[in-house]
């Protein structure tokens, strides 16, 4: 069974806004590796549209640092499944995921492959509630944002995790990988 892996950047106070972190070359390399270690990524509508807007188009030369290109190439090539009740169609190597969320994700996990990545805010909270996330990759930035959105906000049950790996990514950023205690 393919594991479902949640990867997110988070500040010390739990903010997961994509604008709150302090990205660097190592964090982008870590993110590209995380995506490449999966066959596909599962995204909610907001995250899908944000990522498509930020990474689909090839920017003019010199618009972004060269160290961002491996991430761009990786995410562009990756199969994407999108959970949305409002989108009628998607492209960018993507397809809409239909049906009841738990059943649809369980079916994806049963398919052969190395794993499914997910990110974002709302969808991962729902997936955690359903007990579908097998690994949590929290990239912790040494910043206090003072605002949300917050990591897994609204989770109704406690989630106990076991630390399985820790990697320093420079500039005080630490990636910590956890698995749920089951």
CATH class of 6-12+23-115+122-180: alpha beta
Task: Report pLDDT for 160.
Answer: 97
Handedness of CA 18, 86, 98, 155 (dihedral sign): positive
Task: Report pLDDT for 71.
Answer: 84
CA–CA dist 42, 35 (Å, integer): 11
What average pLDDT does the structure give for the chain? 93
CA–CA dist 47, 50 (Å, integer): 5
Q: Tens of pLDDT along 56-112?
A: 888 888 888 888 888 888 888 999 999 999 999 999 999 999 899 999 999 999 999
Is residue 138 helix, strand or coil?
A: strand
Which residues lie across from 146 on neighbouring strands?
none
Is a pLDDT exceeding 90 seen at residue 23? no
Average pLDDT value for residue range 162-167: 97
**0.85 surpassed by pTM:** yes
Task: Report pLDDT for 70.
Answer: 85
Q: How much of the chain, in percent, has pLDDT values that exceed 70?
A: 100
Q: Delimit the domains of the chain by residue range.
A: 6-12+23-115+122-180
Task: Report pLDDT for 80.
Answer: 96
- For residue 33 the two structure tokens come to 């590796």
């Amino acid at each position: 069974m393919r594991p479902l892996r949640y990867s997110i950047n988070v500040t010390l106070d739990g903010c997961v806004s994509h604008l709150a972190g302090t990205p660097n070359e190592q964090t982008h390399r870590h993110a590209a590796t995380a995506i490449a270690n999966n066959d596909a990524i599962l995204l909610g509508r907001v995250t899908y549209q944000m990522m498509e807007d930020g990474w689909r188009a090839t920017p003019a030369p010199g618009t972004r640092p060269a160290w961002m290109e491996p991430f761009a190439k990786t995410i562009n090539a990756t199969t994407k499944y999108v959970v949305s009740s409002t989108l009628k169609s998607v492209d960018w190597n993507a397809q809409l995921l239909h049906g009841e969320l738990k059943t649809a994700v369980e079916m994806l996990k049963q398919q052969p492959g190395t794993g499914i990545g997910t990110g974002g805010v709302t969808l991962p909270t729902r997936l955690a509630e359903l007990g579908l996330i097998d690994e949590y990759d929290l990239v912790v930035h040494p910043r206090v944002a003072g605002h949300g959105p917050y990591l897994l906000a609204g989770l109704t049950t406690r989630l106990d995790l076991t630390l399985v790996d820790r990697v320093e990514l420079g500039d005080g950023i630490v990636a910590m990988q956890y698995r749920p205690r089951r």
